[in-house]
A and B are shown apart, each in its own frame.
Chain A
């Protein structure tokens, strides 16, 4: 990607977080071959919008940038607001690496503009099991955790989630504190 290093002062912190996020594209083979999980072609960056002018400007700059990048990569961008008041920048692309790149771009740009505190999570959807599987990247913890919603309501398949942890721990920075594996029910992706 052309925009690999547009960061000045935040370069160090951003690059550490980026390495951890990129671990998901490295884990792709294990996910596919051993677990039978393929990307569902969709991911998102979830953040809390602010009404401050600076934030609105940063967000619209970001959207333009994303449009340009996504045109290159052949992915589609969509923006949604959920019932909790969080914005979802949704990226659709069949290539997991493009999804990870796009998520990283959004996160870096917002962080670069000084809004890293507004970033919540980046869920990546996978399919292949009985239920959809999400790998949620938490920006506050800089780690992933699995989320497997089961049924329509507020249920999740804890056994499956723990199994995913056991199988991916070596390749993916999985959040060790299980009490932080919070859910994302009714995700718009």
Chain B
């Protein structure tokens, strides 16, 4: 692909690289400790690692779609949405991804799939209802940039050792229960304790680093959307709409919802938990500031 005039942010690329390198270093340390303390055979360890990685990698799209309750649609179901995705995919030089719809009032969108050929772009009905065409284009272009940057692969790779660490923490815990971790000699702390601590530390540090990478990917996707649509101001207004209070007010009818009995079932705590997930996105003000900067570079109007 030809490099576009506004398509790079050198500082961001550098920071992204640095974080990834730190993550790599962390994992190597983790693996070394694992070998020297646990004396795990190299072969079973590698098998476990690759087993998990492959499973996660190849089922990422199905898992994400199922978790979100997304339904893959045909052109006839939503022609305008379909055309929009098709046109933007062409501009991003991507094959046409599958399109899915999540039936919920909350305006949101996501992309998944291990590579551009298996990509799915999902939007919610709330997004289509509340945003106008330009804003929807901005959001879809953002998701397509995730596909183009192969962020699913990056994040799978990044989160994979964190997962392994969590797994080993659990093993070590059971080991302690069944008295499996026999002391090497009577003076040192038991192996399972060392293992537990190392796994914990690995998990915590990698969690922070993964969040950091994820935030960088969001900036990159915002930039990509600005380049693809040539109009960052639409994505800016879309972001504002999505995160404003207004987005919380339902469009549904009270009587309809009470009939479905869904209204009172979801406890507030669950809602708070899901909003925690968004912490891997940068705060709105920073994203808007970054987009405004891009808009100025491109000579676009900024509100």
User: Which residues on A are within 8 Å of B, measured CB to CB?
Assistant: 46, 48, 82, 84-86, 120-121, 136, 138, 140, 154, 156, 158-159, 161-162, 177-185
Contact = CB atoms under 8 A, between A and B. Distances in A.
B21 interface: no
A179 B248 contact: yes
Q: How large is the interface on B (under 10, 10 to 19, 20 to 34, 35 or more residues)?
A: 10 to 19
Given A84-B259, A179-B271, A180-B263, A121 B254 contact: yes
Nearest to A182: B254
Contacts of A136: 254
Contact of B245 (A84, A86, A162, A185): A162
A182 B257 contact: yes
Contacts of B248: 178-179
B253 A140 contact: no
A84 B250 contact: no
Nearest to B130: A158
Given A162-B245, A179-B271, A184 B253 contact: yes
B77 interface: no
A140 B245 contact: no
B254 A156 contact: no
A84 B253 contact: yes
B52 to A, nearest CB: 36
B212 to A, nearest CB: 30
Ranked nearest first, the 8 interchain pairs of A and B with the lowest CB-CB distance are A182-B254, A178-B248, A84-B255, A158-B246, A181-B249, A183-B253, A158-B249, A178-B249
Interface of B: 245-246, 248-259, 263-264, 268, 271
Nearest to B255: A84
A4 to B, nearest CB: 29
A44 to B, nearest CB: 12
Contacts of B250: 179-183
A68 to B, nearest CB: 29
Contacts of A138: 254
Nearest to A121: B254
A129 B253 CA distance: 22
Given A120-B255, A154-B251, A140 B246 contact: no
B258 A156 contact: no
B110 to A, nearest CB: 20
A138 B255 CA distance: 11
Given A162-B246, A183-B250, A183-B251, 20 more contacts: A82-B255, A84-B255, A84-B256, A85-B259, A120-B255, A136-B254, A138-B254, A140-B263, A154-B251, A154-B253, A158-B246, A159-B246, A162-B249, A179-B248, A181-B249, A182-B250, A182-B252, A182-B263, A183-B252, A184-B254
A184 B252 CA distance: 8
Contacts of B268: 177
Nearest to B246: A158
A136 B249 CA distance: 14
Contacts of B246: 158-159, 162
A66 B249 CA distance: 34
A162 B254 CA distance: 18
A120 B251 contact: no
Which of A85, A138, A154, A180 has most chain B Cβ within 10 Å?
A180
A177 B264 CA distance: 12
A140 B264 CA distance: 9
B245 A178 contact: yes
Nearest to B257: A182
A110 to B, nearest CB: 16
